[in-house]
Structure 1
Amino acid sequence: MAVLRSLLPQLGLFLCLALCFSPALSASYNDPCMVFDTISTTDNLGVNVTVEGSGGNITYTVRIPVNSSVSVVILKTMNQNNKSVGSWVGATQECNDSSVLYHVTPSDSSDFQATMTVTDSEDITKVNLYVFIAIGNGTAVMTSINLEELRAMTTANTTAMTTANTTAKTTAMTTAKTTATSLAVNALGSPLAGALHILLVFLISKLLF
């Protein structure tokens, strides 16, 4: 009995600590940003990212194919120094590791879409976008995309399209002018034009003489 009485204070302290920390443990367990038990890396998620410039800002639109088994998408953009880059629009929750979480409602008519804005003061050199798709039971699939390479490719494509359009317009205008000139020359060189020219000379000579 004496031993049991001596243990009562310790038992009371342990019970108090357990009651104090149990809400925190429960919240951590229910935290949708919790670390996944299993993460599979793949390049076949079908993620599509488009880049648009507006003023000094750059907007990245991320489109991800989802189905009824996907309820959560986590997105993260980090530079080579493991610092977060950009601001995500409309995220459900911001996580402690600088990632953002979106609750997904899959639809047959559209994919999941999220938008991130990077200001001109932020350096996107060696910035990677990480896409995590939760598929249930603590499992997720992940893919990464280099935003610097993506922006370079977009710039190159835009330049190529602009050059192609300019070349096409120049070629079309040159062809039109050449065609018009050729038609005028052909008209003047036709038999009818020659006959009209002779008739005009004849009439002028009659009037003069």
Structure 2
Amino acid sequence: MIRITQHTDWVVYIIVGCIFLYIFMLISLRRDSSVREFLLQKFPDSTNNFLSWLIIGFVFSLVFAVFISQYVPVVPKRISDLHILGWELNKFGFTLMTVLGFYLVKNMLTYVFFAGTASLPRWEKFYFSASKFYFVFSLVLMVLCIVRYFYEFEPVQMFGYYLAGVLAVFFFKQLYYFLHPGGILPQQWYYKLLYICSLQIVPVMVLWRVLFF
């Protein structure tokens, strides 16, 4: 059996770039905070929350796309037929564009949801708390990317474990949002359930449908 060498330099470049983005965020935007200080920081003491949220969201989208792109079965023909300056999207490019678009639309709808439920005063506190969750999750994904691309594991067999882990994190995130002591979701319990069902569960099902079917 001939084994084809997999070139993974691009994975290293992306992870290193993401680490430098986080270093820039912690030093420049978070007043020379350490990772621990950032995670324990209280909302009244925080600065540059929106810019930090954008950086964390971009880094998370990058490493998440790196991690799952090679499991995406195929790039849709309508996408692969699009050529820009002679280039076409591979699996990683397609996955990254899909994930970025997914989170852009999802966050816009989340803002509309907060505005429609008269909860805009909680909006900044919401994305401040969410950014901490995605910061930790993105660090975990960086480690998983290294395991995925640089260690000899059977990708198909490991996919089940990865999927179970992502589902466990997704479930934990719902508890994190729903039970957060800072009250980051609308006060009424039915609005909380509406948010989790309509802006957490349904969008993930749509993303799964786009990438894997």
Q: TM over 0.5: same fold?
A: no
Relative contact order, CA 8 A, sep 6+: which one is greater?
Answer: 2
With structure 1 as the length reference, what TM-score do the two structures score?
0.23
The structure with more radius of gyration: 1
Could you tell me the TM-score, scaled by structure 2's length? 0.22
